[in-house]
Amino acid sequence: MTRCVVVADDLTGSCDAGHEFATRNYDTRVVISPQSNATPQGDIAVYNTESRYAEPAVAAERVRTVLETTDPSVVFKKVDSTLRGNVRVEVDAATQAVDPDLVIVAPAFPANGRLTACGYHLVDGQLITESPPGQDEERPPTHDSLPAFFASSDYPVERIGIETVSRGTAVVRETLESMCSTDGPVIVTCDAVTDSHLATLAAAADNLSEQCLYVGSGGLAGHITAPGTHSGAAVNVDENRSVVGVSGSVAPETLAQIEKISKDRRQQLDLEMAVSDPSTAATDLAFRGSAVVNEHGGVLLHSADARSDVDRAMAAGERAGIDGETTRRRITNALAAGAAEVVRDGQASNLFLTGGSTARAVLDSLDATALRMAGEEVAPGIPLATVNGGIADGVTAVTKAGGFGNEQAIIKSLARLGLSDE
């Protein structure tokens, strides 16, 4: 029986949060597509609503649909640790569906440099709106201050500062109790600068008699408990398989990671061709990618290795008379289709996927329905899973959000799947 439902706005975030449960031996399944009719078995069900860049009303409806058709003991609304997307709208939708007493909001993920102090959210020491994620072209974070971020919510907003969190579980629990209202749900934004602060927040909320809706990133997910016994799964990586890595992210962290991969082990999508003729671009990429797999046992396929590639792709879109959203979609679809052809060429390959929409597109192209999280990770926020369904059923996959990891993250991920960069 599913005892906890997690709702996330993209696939890598779904896996990131799901991993935090799997590492504690919960049997955790991630439903890949919001259009899927799959009903996951296991302890924890993670639903990818693919709503980070959807229209706000669409995003809210997807969240409500999941939560109104499930009845778990615990609900966790996973949000981007850099507050991109339709965060406030989706939290309001989740609150409406669950109708809790308190909404505990703690998006910090200290292991990946995301902290909240004095109400302000930081990424690697920068205010969130001044950091690279703050320049997101479609749904950047709107405020540095969490209370200001949620000020337009349909619900009243309170705050618990670091001076309270640092005093421990009992003090936080008493503070939360004092914030409960007979008039309905209250949103409580919480400071956290260490993992122990997140543990304190989760323990305090768990000890309340009132119902809580949890909102956070992978950091908070690592401390949420579900009732009952655990029935987890482990992963057995078949290193005899070839390895196909796919990167559709243009985050600075990912571009730096790609640069560390030997040029003879990677192939870049022809961006101009992808914009004008996605099908031909996919076939071209698959041909070149398969040749690398045949020679080296694996390949990294990517859409960009420098920020200038983004400008080049947008210029190609303008010449073709299409808007930026269509340009990005064509590139993602061509990259995913090319990757799927390479995976199909012989025994299905182990997968490395970075960038949420890219990961979703690749797995959709392979007819996968879910990922079963292994409870193991290459590095914080970079988990392993087993693919369920489709032609890649049973292969091992590593997923990574674009903004996660040091410069060796992709090299280490490919190596864990069986491809060394020698």
Q: How confident is the model at residue 62 (pLDDT cuts 50, 70, 90)?
A: very high
* Residues 186 and 288 reside in one and the same domain: no
Q: Does residue 238 lie within any of the structural domains? A: no
Q: What CATH number has the domain bearing residue 371?
A: 3.40.980.20
Query: Does pLDDT of 51 surpass 90?
Result: yes
Q: What is the pLDDT of residues 153-175, one digit of tens each?
A: 999 999 999 999 999 999 999 99
Q: What CATH number has the domain bearing residue 127?
A: 3.40.50.10840
Q: Does residue 284 lie within any of the structural domains? A: yes
Q: Does residue 236 lie within any of the structural domains? A: no
CA 168, CA 35: separation in Å to the nearest integer?
A: 42
* Residues 285 and 173 reside in one and the same domain: no
Q: Is 25 exposed, middle or buried (CB count within 10 Å of its CB: 0-12, 13-18, 19+)?
A: middle
* Residues 178 and 286 reside in one and the same domain: no
Q: Does residue 340 lie within any of the structural domains? A: yes
Bridge-based pairing of strands 102-106 and 126-127 is unpaired
For residues 160, 166, 171 and 177, what is the CA-based torsion angle, rounded to 10 degrees?
A: 20
Among residues 173, 191, 221, which one ends one of the domains?
A: 221
DSSP state letters, 219-267: HHHTT---SS----------TTS-EEEEE----HHHHHHHHTS-GGGEE
Q: How confident is the model at residue 232 (pLDDT cuts 50, 70, 90)?
A: low
Distance linking the first and last C-alpha atoms of the chain: 45
Residue with tokens 């985050």: 251
CB 36 within 8 A of CB 369: yes
* Residues 106 and 156 reside in one and the same domain: yes
Query: Does pLDDT of 362 surpass 70?
Result: yes
For residue 191, count other CB atoms closer than 10 A to its CB.
24
Bridge-based pairing of strands 382-388 and 396-400 is antiparallel
CA 20, CA 75: separation in Å to the nearest integer?
A: 14
* Residues 205 and 266 reside in one and the same domain: no
Residue 116 or residue 181, greater confidence:
116
Q: Does residue 226 lie within any of the structural domains? A: no
CB 104 within 8 A of CB 213: yes
Helix, strand, coil shares, percent, the chain, to 5: 40, 20, 40
Q: How confident is the model at residue 36 (pLDDT cuts 50, 70, 90)?
A: low
- The reply to whether the predicted model has a pTM over 0.75 is yes
Q: What percent of the chain has pLDDT over 90?
A: 82
CA 36, CA 46: separation in Å to the nearest integer?
A: 12
Query: Does pLDDT of 251 surpass 70?
Result: yes
* Residues 195 and 262 reside in one and the same domain: no
Q: What b/e string do you get for 61-85 counting C-beta neighbours within 10 Å, with b at 16 or more?
A: ebbbbbbeebebebbbbbbbbbbbb
Q: How confident is the model at residue 369 (pLDDT cuts 50, 70, 90)?
A: very high
* Residues 327 and 401 reside in one and the same domain: yes
Full domain range(s) for residue 379: 243-417
* Residues 99 and 181 reside in one and the same domain: yes
The count of domains in the chain is 2
Residue range 274-294: mean pLDDT, rounded: 96
* Residues 183 and 273 reside in one and the same domain: no
Residues 6+ apart with CB under 8 A from 196: none
Q: What is the pLDDT of residues 410-421, one digit of tens each?
A: 999 999 999 986
Average pLDDT, the chain: 92
CA 88, CA 104: separation in Å to the nearest integer?
A: 13
Q: What is the pLDDT of residues 65-99, one digit of tens each?
A: 999 888 888 999 999 999 999 999 999 999 999 99
CA 248, CA 328: separation in Å to the nearest integer?
A: 10
SS3 label, residue 351: strand
Question: What does the DSSP 8-state code read for residue 389?
Answer: S
State how far the alpha carbon of 152 is from the alpha carbons of 40, 78, 148, 209, 319, in Å.
Answer: 34, 20, 8, 28, 39
Q: Does residue 232 lie within any of the structural domains? A: no
* Residues 214 and 266 reside in one and the same domain: no
Query: Does pLDDT of 231 surpass 70?
Result: no
Q: How confident is the model at residue 185 (pLDDT cuts 50, 70, 90)?
A: very high
* Residues 63 and 175 reside in one and the same domain: yes
Q: Does residue 230 lie within any of the structural domains? A: no
Query: Does pLDDT of 1 surpass 60?
Result: no
Q: What is the pLDDT of residues 334-345, one digit of tens each?
A: 999 999 999 987
CB 310 within 8 A of CB 269: no
> What's the confidence (pLDDT) of residue 72?
85
Q: Does residue 391 lie within any of the structural domains? A: yes
Q: How confident is the model at residue 54 (pLDDT cuts 50, 70, 90)?
A: very high
For residue 316, count other CB atoms closer than 10 A to its CB.
19
Q: How confident is the model at residue 150 (pLDDT cuts 50, 70, 90)?
A: very high
CA 408, CA 378: separation in Å to the nearest integer?
A: 11
* Residues 173 and 314 reside in one and the same domain: no
Element (H, E) at 170: helix 169-179
Q: How confident is the model at residue 38 (pLDDT cuts 50, 70, 90)?
A: low
Among residues 162, 186, 221, which one ends one of the domains?
A: 221
> What's the confidence (pLDDT) of residue 346?
66
